[in-house]
Amino acid sequence: MPKLKAPLLSLGAWGRITKNFVIRRRQKLSILEEKPIPKDAKTALQLSWRHMYQKAIALWNALSQEEKQEWESLARPKHMTGLAYFVSQALRPNPGLYLPLQGGTMQGEIDMAKYLIKNLPTPVDDQDAANKEYVDAITPGADFPMKLKPAITRWVQPCWLSANYLEVIAPTADRIYYMPIFVSETTTYIRIGVYVAVASKGTCDLRIFNWDNGLPSTLVLSCGTVDTGTIGAKEIVISQQLTRGYYFLAYRFTGTPTMRGIHYSTLLVPVPGIAQGIDQYYRDIILYADAPYADPAPTPTGAENVFYTFAYLREN
């Protein structure tokens, strides 16, 4: 419907004729022209503020009636509606009622009340927050750059230390021995082995098991078998990464060769033993089970002393 301020054919007519045309007065002339339609440039700044406004409205709609009434009371002395005052505070530059969704600076501590912070990216700067994936990857120590690593062949019994070796111990045939180890940082081991001091016809089956509250649990790796019919170092090529934590190296012999173990003198072990005697506070630490291998590992039924610490891992 036309909305003119004077008769259409009069000299002073102006206003809208149709939805698309208007009459304007310029320099005492009446000019018929198309109604201008403002262009929506959709600039980054415009879109950012629209996004913020939509979020502010969503926050208002999420308020209870009691909370909205509180805003109405605060807005009344300012001659504003509760909605208008709420939005004005929500959209204030930082510090405002809320931290801007597009970023800002906190002015105090945040208590998450046991709620999670989701979708954190991988940290870049020293002060960036870290997500669980990043922490899990580095906490065990993914090979610290300051660690001494000369170009030598290094066989280890992780977190075991003894100044003396003993070469007179023969294992019981068909018995699984569980040797506890502690891996201090994520390490990829490339060999596992034992040393035969006196040969005996048969084999040694070497495996690695996970640790569960002091007992061997699920199988990590079945490494294979070595021949104990000749003396010397017996090794198997593997490629197994172990993260920081406790594990068991397991070995089961079909014969009774004499093996190289370690002596209890000047000994450091990764965990305390289970013996009760005051003179054997860590000696009985090698668990055993008279059973064939299985997964999960057969439950230990006894323990031997540290002389039965036979297995080694090679790091490089």
pLDDT along the chain (316 residues), means of 10: 53 62 68 70 79 86 92 92 88 62 68 82 84 68 53 80 72 96 90 94 97 95 96 94 94 95 73 60 82 96 89 88
Q: Is 133 exposed, middle or buried (0-12, 13-18, 19+ CB in 10 A)?
A: exposed
Give Rg (Cα) of the chain. 39
Residues 298, 299, 304: CA angle, nearest 5 degrees:
105
Which pLDDT does position 224 carry in this prediction? Answer: 96
Q: How many CB atoms lie within 10 A of CB 226?
A: 20
At 51, which helix (H) or strand (E)? helix 44-61
In single-letter form, the type of residue at position 150 comes to P
Which pLDDT does position 11 carry in this prediction? Answer: 55
How far, in Å, CA of 246 to CA of 240, rounded?
15
Which fold would CATH assign to domain 155-314? Jelly Rolls (2.60.120)
Which pLDDT does position 155 carry in this prediction? Answer: 84
Domain with CATH 2.60.120 in the chain: 155-314
Q: How far is CA 153 from CA 157, 182, 186, 316, in A?
A: 14, 20, 18, 6
Closest CA to 129 of 152, 106, 146: 106
Which residue in this structure is represented by tokens 């596992």?
A: 192
Tell me the three state secondary structure of residue 61: helix
Q: How far is CA 57 from CA 44, 51, 54, 94, 95, in A?
A: 20, 10, 5, 18, 19
Which pLDDT does position 141 carry in this prediction? Answer: 46
Say what the pTM is.
0.55
How far, in Å, CA of 193 to CA of 216, rounded?
19
How far, in Å, CA of 307 to CA of 175, rounded?
15
Which pLDDT does position 250 carry in this prediction? Answer: 97
